[in-house]
Structure 1
């Protein structure tokens, strides 16, 4: 499903933009999230348990995720659409792993924030790709 250049892009510590179904008259509003590509090809991210996106994902368990190369590099992006499952297990481990991927964890302020996340419970969001679109210049 993913091409080799997709895998190289998704292996980098870039922000993904997660879009879930909106409520009411609102428009979809992508949110930047940390992510990782799991060995089985699913995309994993996490959320604090009270986040509104989790309620919307429980109502309509589908999402899209877009990851793009940063400015200054040749244009390259991968867009994934798929069903979503939510998991109480594995969220803390994922959050700790991603924090180490995206942040310098020797910073005591960041370490404290991650500890607060882990103490409050973390939900693992798994996007199961069904459609993948891409562009690479």
Structure 2
């Protein structure tokens, strides 16, 4: 297995609070992407969180391959990045990731968002860690 690394430009792009579209390998079925929050790690992986009983977890337990596509928003020059590879499901550090990403994507000074995050504390979470096997990118 060849591992591709994320460039400094990739990491800068992925540090923005953009939505990623996560897809699991689905065999004969077409991919069913879902919008997710994510972050690139210091080890060059990309991670996101999900509930322990979600369809994506069931699919990843059958086939660990997945991809994440991130695109620049409308109004910016065209740019996207795709990371694909095997995943690992990890419970350790999942709540810390939820909190960190909530702070990145939401204004937690807003009482509604703070309450949303507090409510999420009652759920059980997993980290989905993608090991980049293939990295594709486009930028104008």
Contact 1:18 1:63 in 2 (8 A): yes
1:36 aligns with 2:39: yes
- The residue aligned with 2:110 is 107
1:89 aligns with 2:92: yes
Q: 1: CA distance between counterparts of 2:102 and 2:51?
A: 14
Contact 1:35 1:44 in 2 (8 A): yes
Q: Give the superposition deviation at 1:11.
A: 1.0
- The residue aligned with 1:49 is 52
Q: 1: CA distance between counterparts of 2:51 and 2:109?
A: 23
- The residue aligned with 1:13 is 17
Q: Structure 1, residues 51-109: CA drift from partner, whole Å, max 9, x if none?
A: 11110011101101111111111111110111000011111000000000000011222
- Residue-pair matches, total: 136
Q: Give the superposition deviation at 1:5.
A: 2.1
TM-score, scaled relative to structure 2: 0.91
Q: Structure 1, residues 35-64: CA drift from partner, whole Å, max 9, x if none?
A: 010000000100112211110011101101
Moved more, 61-70 or 113-122: 113-122
1:58 aligns with 2:70: no
Unmatched tracts of structure 2, length 5 or more: none
1:120 aligns with 2:120: no
Unmatched tracts of structure 1, length 5 or more: none
- The residue aligned with 1:3 is 7
1:77 aligns with 2:80: yes
CA RMSD of aligned residues (A): 1.3
TM-score, scaled relative to structure 1: 0.93
